[in-house]
Amino acid sequence: MQQVTDLSDPRRCQGQAPDGQCRNRAEPEDKYCRLHGSGQHLAEQKDKRSFLLAKAEDKARLASVSDELEPVKELRDSIALQHMLIEKRYNLIQSDADLLASCGPLNQMLQTMERLVTSCHRIETNLGELLARHAIIALAKDMVQIVVDELEGIENYEEIIDRITGRLIDTVRSANNNPPEAPLMLPEPPTK
């Protein structure tokens, strides 16, 4: 932690030290340093993830990995965080010796990731967030009926309906449970 050089610095921590006001610099957007803000003043510091989220680049990375609109957001955030941890651990590998030393921790992290993903899938299934294929097909049929109702009376509307129906059926058949982004892929280790 950095200390202020000027005791009247507005960035000075508002916490109390044994000899008076703390001389540490307050955390950005807060009145307290890490030492004094770990209680009620810094909600983010209470979060177990804050050590990774403190950097702006980590916040941006988490936002890009985590889908903000999911109903099981906390679990998805944990999955995204685990993904970040795996990437960070993997990026530390500089040599074959580092790779061998990382095998155990990486394996453990990947097992944790698997448990998180399995839990997320189970919760989504229990909450009814995942649709079975037959439900999706029924939904597609209802959508086609809506299109038929709306286009009826237009010249050659049957051909348009056939094209739309074919595209919907192909889309439903090709659907899978993979997320829209690429699956978890570890980056190549840096070479010297």
Full 3-state SS string of 107-167: HHHHHHHHHHHHHHHHHHHHCCCCCCHHHHHHHHHHHHHHHHHHHCCCCCHHHHHHHHHHH
Amino acid 45: pLDDT: 44
Residue 117 counted as domain residue:
yes
Residue 179 counted as domain residue:
no
Q: Are both 30 and 53 inside the same structural domain?
A: no
Q: Are both 124 and 57 inside the same structural domain?
A: yes
Residue 59 counted as domain residue:
yes
Q: Are both 12 and 30 inside the same structural domain?
A: yes
Q: Count structural domains, the chain.
A: 3
3-state secondary structure of 90: helix
Amino acid 166: pLDDT: 84
Residue 180 counted as domain residue:
no
Amino acid 40: pLDDT: 44
Q: Are both 56 and 42 inside the same structural domain?
A: no
pTM: 0.36
Q: What would you measure as the largest C-alpha separation in the chain, in angstroms? A: 87
Q: Are both 143 and 90 inside the same structural domain?
A: no
Residue 33 counted as domain residue:
yes
Residue 113 counted as domain residue:
yes
Torsion of CA 116, 121, 124, 127, to 10 degrees: -100
**Which of these, 114, 145, 134, lies nearest to 175 by C-alpha position?**
134
Q: Are both 27 and 2 inside the same structural domain?
A: yes
Domain limits at 153? 133-174
Q: Are both 156 and 126 inside the same structural domain?
A: no
Q: Are both 118 and 85 inside the same structural domain?
A: yes
Q: Are both 96 and 149 inside the same structural domain?
A: no
Q: What is the pLDDT of residues 7-25, one digit of tens each?
A: 888 889 888 887 788 889 9
Ranges under pLDDT 70 in the chain: 38-73, 124-132, 176-192
Residue 185 counted as domain residue:
no
Amino acid 62: pLDDT: 62
Q: Are both 6 and 21 inside the same structural domain?
A: yes
